[in-house]
Amino acid sequence: MIYLFISDMIFQSRVENELRNLELKGKFVKSVDEVKELGKQSFAVFDLSEPGNLDNLKKFREKFSQVKTIAFLPHVNEELKQKAVSLGCSQVLPRFEFTKNMRAILQGK
């Protein structure tokens, strides 16, 4: 299961379409409390441009420290990127790079 902390409806639609094409399971969530089912291949994706998602990333890392986390942010925001890295985020990308490589990222590559 891929947990997606993404609330932008247009971007959700793009991700949903890619998940469907790849035949992968994903769930859009707003808080860590909604994360229930974690399998061996589970991971989480955070849109750091959304208010509260840095805090969600922190809570997720505290609760599920062994689960891979990927975050993306608008343009290059070094301060926000460093905060995410310091919280243990596995990978932090600019939004355009996440979009460009979405297929591979969602496949866990």
In terms of Cβ atoms closer than 10 Å to its own Cβ (0-12, 13-18, 19+), residue 68 is middle
Q: How far apart are CA 106 and CA 15, in angstroms?
A: 9
Please give the chain's pLDDT, 109 residues, in tens.
999 999 999 999 999 999 999 999 999 999 999 998 788 889 999 999 999 999 999 999 999 999 999 999 987 788 999 999 999 999 999 999 999 999 999 998 8
Domains of the chain, CATH where assigned = 2-106 (3.40.50.2300)
Give, in order, the Cα–Cα distances in Å from 3 to each of 20, 70, 76.
15, 10, 23
Q: What are phi and psi of 82, to 5 degrees?
A: -65, -35
Residue 72 DSSP SS3: strand
